Amino acid sequence: MNKIKTVAIIGVGLIGGSLGMAWKKSRAVGKVIGIGRHPEKLKKAKQLKAIDEFTTDFQAGVKDADLVVICTPVGLIAPTIKRILPALKKDCIVTDVGSVKAPVVAMAEKILRAKKIHFIGGHPMAGSEQAGISNAQSDLFKKAVWILTPGSHTSLKEMSLLHHLISKTGVKVILLDPKKHDQIVSVTSHLPHLLAASLVNFLAAQNRKNKNTINLTAGGFRDMTRIASSSPEIWADISLMNRQEIIKALAEFNRLTSRMISALKANKRKQVFSLFAQAKQTRDRMI
């Protein structure tokens, strides 16, 4: 198996920085090149040992890379591929860390079709509502799941190379069809972010009616809404790009909340208890 020796990471923030730290700590690659728009952030990434060198010249940064990891918001993945395309060397592998896969994989394969460049979609199911290189950590991915979504042109060789390297971060790698990925994460990731944001906005509206409302939030509310502090730019792009699957998930969720409303209106304790009991049983198995 040929090794991936030089990696270029475009966007050295929480995910990109943590990825560089993990690979450097495990000595999985020879060199990690950081690429971005802000020199001061890239200097910080080098100081934190997330990268070996850096540049703001995207094409110069990728020209010697065996693997390019695009860690930008999902709306910038395709434009970034177009930007670096002229400098990518033959047989380079390009992957991403975006939370939406079907449209990203389709766009990437269309862009790269004319060149012998291999795109494999990726999505690490790890992170934090706190962004930026200052929050990066080498063990961010340990015991997490990293989904790879091969496209119609993905070869076994390139998939094996990327699978092997990704596993060096401590994750469990899972292969999924891009469309199946988007269906699943619309429920497990995208819907929770929308619900957390909506709950916080509901709280703000109630607080305008009663100024004590925000002061009376406790641990339960904070636990449920932690992810509402995530980047609005990132989550607006994700929500719109996967809107069809999210709309389906919201419709199913609304049916469940309607059942609770009906049970409360009818004063049916057995039904209310059952909803809580089912939830506890499922959640306890997840811990």
- Residue 9's φ and ψ, nearest 5 degrees, are -110, 115
Phi, psi of 152 (to 5 degrees): -70, -20
In order along its 287 residues, the chain shows pLDDT tens digits of: 468 999 999 999 999 999 999 999 999 999 999 999 999 999 999 999 999 999 999 999 999 999 999 999 999 999 999 999 999 998 899 999 999 999 999 999 999 877 888 999 999 998 777 788 998 999 999 989 999 999 888 888 999 999 999 999 999 999 999 999 999 999 999 999 999 999 999 999 999 999 889 999 999 999 999 999 998 999 999 999 999 999 999 999 999 999 999 999 999 999 999 999 999 999 999 86
User: What pLDDT sits at residue 249?
Assistant: 97
Question: Which structure tokens are listed for 92?
Answer: 């380079």
Task: For residues 128 and 239, give the distance between their C-alpha atoms in angstroms, rounded to a whole number.
Answer: 18
Query: What pLDDT is recorded for position 1?
Result: 44
Interval 44-61: pLDDT, tens = 999 999 999 999 999 999
**pLDDT value, residue 287:** 63
- What domains, with CATH codes, occur in the chain? 6-176 (3.40.50.720), 181-286 (1.10.3660.10)
- pLDDT at 2 (0 to 100): 61
d(CA 137, CA 46) in angstroms, rounded, equals 13
Q: How high is the pLDDT of residue 205?
A: 96
User: pTM value?
Assistant: 0.90
- At 129 the pLDDT is 72
Query: What is d(CA 281, CA 231) in angstroms, rounded to the nearest whole number?
Result: 32
Task: Report phi then psi at 225, rounded to 5.
Answer: -115, 10
The DSSP string of 52-82 is SEEES-HHHHHTT-SEEEE-S-GGGHHHHHH
